Amino acid sequence: MRRAVICAVGLIALGGAVGTSATAKGPTTGPGQRPFLVVLHDYLAAANDVSALANGAVPADAASKEKALGVLRHADALLSELSRLPQAANIAPAGRLRVVTMLLAYGDGATEELVQARASGGGDDAVTAKGEQVVARWVQAGGDATRQSSIVDEIIALAKQNPGNDSLAKLMVMMSGTGNAGIGLNDKLTDAIANDMTCPEAQGLRREMAMRVLEREMVEAQERAANQQLVSMENKPLVLAGPTKDGTAFTSADWKGKVILVDFWATWCGPCREELPRVTKMYGDYHGQGLEVLGVSCDNDLSSLNSFLQQHPAMAWPQLFDASKPGWHALATQYGIEGIPTMFLIDKKGVLRSVTARESMEELIPKLLAESAN
């Protein structure tokens, strides 16, 4: 086809500016403080380690837990350092939501006391603390679907009672990407944020969901138009021509009297590679009876195509590939092909009989071979 969640919300764009040098220069805000980019670089590395912990099971043995707590405390210390820098005003609070919940999940006693004290208070911070406790239990639940379902119900009830709490919505988004949540629970969390909450995070999610729907509708409309174009070509003469991978001129008109299976594909396309054993079998079974196969390669470079073909010598058929214009083949564009693999079948008279041969080549090829060429 043509067509990692980082721990700290909003860091993806910043990550590209950080680079990999620990000696990056940046403005300081006071004596003794490290430059912003240096601290951010260190935190991004720590945040990836935190993310790895969040998507794994909480270990039972004390040594592994203590090692994980070391990672989490290091990330927390970097967040504290970031919080003292004005450039990180939006980074530290978002990152701390993740780190605090993970410290709770791994049983950090000091964090448990602080969060419990906050949860016993009042206002939005108490709600946020309760949400952090819920997400910590979610992480501890791992892949236990029964426990996960109960925890989702708990945080959704909290969200309905506190629809304007933005941190709570962020915690719910965090849950949907942590702890191996099933699709059903992900949808339940997302729907609750979008339908029951009024905070900025929920508003942004609703806009994102609306854009996804619009994008899906546009893609579906394009696919319908492409399919209609392809189907309209059936039962009409079709000649395919172009240079092969070796630069030799080719035309399917030279194969008049043969049945031709045309495979639009690429070595980088997983589904294309999965179909090759079927195509190879058809070629082996029926080439002697008049079947030819023509590959139309959408590879990005000739070396990848040649290397693949050397490893698969049974693919003895020609490959159309224009080295001067690699990538999505001009014929694929001309015929409105939006996805690969796409396979055509041309009969002995040179008439295109199917644009969906991938689905039924085993049935269609023998029938077309049995037809007269006159």
pLDDT tens, 308-348?
999 999 999 999 999 999 999 999 999 989 889 999 999 99
Mean pLDDT lowest among 115-119, 209-213, 305-309: 209-213
Q: Say if residue 120's pLDDT is above 60.
A: yes
* Residue-level pLDDT at 110: 95
Distance from C-alpha of 148 to C-alpha of 241, rounded to nearest angstrom? 57
DSSP secondary-structure letter at 90?
T
pTM: predicted TM-score of the whole model, two decimal places = 0.53
Q: What is the pLDDT of residues 28-60, one digit of tens each?
A: 445 567 888 999 999 999 999 988 888 778 888
DSSP secondary-structure letter at 20?
S
Q: In angstroms, what CA-CA distances link 283 with 3, 294, 352, 361? A: 29, 10, 19, 11
pLDDT confidence of 260, banded at 50, 70, 90?
A: very high
**Which range has the top average pLDDT, 36-50, 142-156, 212-226, 259-273?**
259-273
Asked if 92 and 126 count as a contact pair (C-beta separation under 8 A), the reply is no
Q: Say if residue 69's pLDDT is above 80.
A: yes
Question: Which of 197, 202, 227 has its CA nearest to residue 337?
Answer: 227
Mean pLDDT of 88-114: 89
Residue indicated by tokens 């090692």: 67
Q: Say if residue 164's pLDDT is above 50.
A: yes
Mean pLDDT of 350-363: 95
* Residue-level pLDDT at 16: 32
Q: How many CB atoms lie within 10 A of CB 6?
A: 17
Distance from C-alpha of 193 to C-alpha of 55, rounded to nearest angstrom? 22
Alpha-helix residue ranges (DSSP H) falling in 106-199: 109-119, 123-141, 145-161, 166-176, 183-196
* Residue-level pLDDT at 182: 63
The per-residue DSSP string of 30-48 comes to STTPPPHHHHHHHHHHHHH
Asked if 137 and 120 count as a contact pair (C-beta separation under 8 A), the reply is no
Question: Which of 45, 13, 39, 9 has its CA nearest to residue 24?
Answer: 39
Distance from C-alpha of 190 to C-alpha of 206, rounded to nearest angstrom? 9
Domains of the chain from N-terminus onward: 12-204 (no CATH), 236-370 (3.40.30.10)
Mean pLDDT of 209-216: 84
